[in-house]
Amino acid sequence: MTDPYINLTKEDARSILLMPDEELPKHLEAAYTLRKKHKGNIVSIHLLTNARSGNCSQNCAYCAQSGQAKTGIDTYELITSEKLLQDGYLVKEKKLARHCIGLSGIRFSDQEIVAFANEIKNLKKESNTPVCCSIGFLTKEQAMILKEAGVDRINHNLNTGRNYYPNICTTHTYEQRIANIQMLKEMGFELCCGGIVGLGEKPEDVVDMLFEIRDLSPKAVPINFLIPIKGTALEHQSTAILTSEYCLKVLCLARLLNPQSDIRCAAGRELYLKGKEKWMFYAVDSVFASGYLTAGGESIDSTIKIIEEAGFEYCIEP
């Protein structure tokens, strides 16, 4: 019998997002079949450190770190070595899968990259944990400096579909994001590439984003669900579409389109999928714990408990 989920068209994908909620379990079962085949029952936990905060020149409508946002968040140029190492030791102690490090901003001077690379070298020496960085647009030379320092994976999200992108950001283009990702891929970096759902987009835009992500073949696909932050351009954005069922449909589709990737439920997990974790893990094999860049989150121990109570196990990446 032909697998109906092989070679999904965009119309097929859209129908999954729009299907009646009572049809969701059968699609989640299909997602779980792929998840079990490629990831077993393991859930990897990642820790996220905000290494440079605020004062970003870009106008991303959802982001508390945009210089145009009035959020009152803490701002700093580069986190202290002590704090970065403290988080690195925590990743090692708790046997988490990866240390994810985010830096606000779109471009960096060579001097800033060298200084950050030195921090990464020290972090790798002390904790020896896998590192992923979210660090805007890089030149090839800057990317190589980070690669030689020990960064093996870089996160660069598409955030939404190509056609909807001008509605959330006008200070850079979607094409620039794609070009940066392609350059990093050609240089041999593992890619982490995902997006945000609930920005006011249509299901078609979510589908377009997930198909573009699939074509980039990332190792990890983090899916965020919008948390409207006071002081950002989207502080009053309705999140009515973000029912637990719709969020599960998005995660299910992400797995069906990217069967071998880590599908990570990122920001919004604690808000929109509370009590639905067992179903979530049918599609998802990766989560963050202990907060996000500018928002709090479930503690590491609480996240481990949720994973185990859902019948799954947490483990460091091989």
Q: What is the pLDDT of residue 317?
A: 46
Tokens found for residue 291: 């907060």
Quote the distance between the C-alpha of residue 311 and its chain's center.
Answer: 24
pLDDT at site 298: 78
pTM: 0.94
* Amino acid 2: pLDDT: 43
What's residue 113's pLDDT? Answer: 96
230 CB-contact burial (10 Å; exposed 0-12 / middle 13-18 / buried 19+): exposed
Looking at residue 164, its pLDDT comes to: 98
Contact at 8 Å (CB) between 156 and 191? yes
pLDDT in tens, 137-179: 999 999 999 999 999 999 999 999 999 999 999 999 999 999 9
How far apart (Å, rounded) are the C-alpha atoms in residues 273 and 120?
Answer: 34
**Residue 163 contacts residue 52 (beta carbons within 8 Å):** no
Distance in angstroms (rounded) separating the CA atoms of residues 257 and 261: 9
CB 32 within 8 A of CB 279: no
Q: Rounded to 5 degrees, what are φ and ψ at 307?
A: -60, -50
Q: Summarize pLDDT for 80-93 with one digit per residue, the tens.
A: 999 999 999 999 99
pLDDT at res. 87: 92
Q: Which residues of the chain have pLDDT under 50?
A: 1-2, 317-318
Structural domains in the chain plus CATH codes: 10-314 (3.20.20.70)
